[in-house]
């Protein structure tokens, strides 16, 4: 109880505080990079493995890499169907941001010496099929998929933020900032999906629930295998 009370203010600070974008471009307006911002390519990957909780960090980086890989495949599937439609530009912009996320996690896999999940070949196919399948329902179906997936990912990132703050917020400061940034990006994707009529998709509630159950299973498996 004493430990929980001690870390609670720090957890709330990390979960709720919004810093300027640091590791990617926002999507609103004309999706500009904020003043003073830098791209993911310039984010540091210099880390020290001494004193870290390696099992926890391995699990976090492995599952996040898998999640961003799967998100890229979902957007690839959506673009294969809707790339030339009116929804194409916004889907492409969100996909470009996910590409940056994946590139960063590729770097962290090397920096922290983390093996990828053995399920990547499956997520490769499953992600594309999910993206293309929901896009066949039209723009609203694709946006419903975006809302479901991005809500699951942002909730998962929040859980990881709590874990790292409870471990040592100073030791994992850079990783915390990156995860929080990516969480905010996913929230923005979620909101964009809602703005583009996701809730008007056929059987929206059923579709969203089914996709999120799949996301939970993917997270559970990718953390462990």
pLDDT tens digit string along 177-210? 999 999 999 999 999 999 999 999 999 999 999 9
Reported pTM = 0.80
Query: Known binder of ligand: residue 186?
Result: yes
Q: Which of 114, 127, 11 is nearest to 64 (CA)?
A: 114
Please report the pLDDT score of residue 34 as a whole number.
Answer: 35
Query: Known binder of ligand: residue 196?
Result: no
Could you give the angle at which helices 204-224 and 54-82 cross, rounded to 10 degrees? 140
Query: Known binder of ligand: residue 50?
Result: no
Query: Known binder of ligand: residue 167?
Result: no
Give the whole-angstrom CA distance, residue 65 versus residue 2: 34
Backbone angles phi, psi at 26, to 5 degrees: -70, 165
Length of the chain: 225
Across all residues in the chain, what is the average pLDDT?
Answer: 86
Q: Which residue has the tokens 């957007």?
A: 75
Query: Known binder of ligand: residue 188?
Result: no
Q: Which residues contact 97 (CB under 8 A, 6 or more apart)?
A: 24, 25, 27, 185, 189
**Is the model's pLDDT at 128 over the cut of 80?**
yes
pLDDT tens digit string along 31-66? 333 333 334 444 444 567 778 999 999 999 999 999
């Amino acid at each position: 109880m004493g430990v929980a009370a001690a870390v609670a203010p720090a957890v709330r600070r990390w979960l709720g505080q919004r810093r300027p974008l640091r590791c990617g471009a926002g999507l609103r307006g004309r999706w500009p990079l904020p003043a003073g911002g830098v791209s993911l390519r310039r984010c540091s990957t210099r880390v020290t493995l001494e004193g870290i909780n390696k099992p926890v960090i391995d699990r976090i980086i492995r599952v996040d890499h898998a999640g961003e890989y799967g998100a890229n495949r979902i957007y690839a599937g959506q673009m294969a169907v809707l790339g030339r439609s009116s929804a194409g530009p916004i889907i492409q912009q969100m996909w470009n941001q996910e590409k940056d996320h994946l590139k960063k996690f590729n770097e962290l896999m090397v920096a922290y010496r983390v093996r990828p999940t053995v399920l990547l070949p499956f997520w490769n196919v499953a992600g594309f099929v999910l993206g293309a399948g929901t896009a066949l329902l039209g723009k609203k179906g694709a946006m419903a998929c975006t809302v479901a997936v991005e809500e699951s990912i942002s909730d998962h990132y929040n859980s990881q933020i709590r874990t790292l703050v409870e471990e040592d917020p100073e030791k994992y400061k850079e990783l915390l900032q990156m995860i929080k940034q990516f969480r905010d990006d996913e929230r923005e994707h979620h909101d964009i999906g809602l703005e583009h009529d996701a809730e008007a998709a056929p059987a929206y509630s059923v579709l969203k629930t089914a996709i999120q159950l799949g996301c939970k299973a993917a997270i559970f498996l990718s953390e462990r295998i």
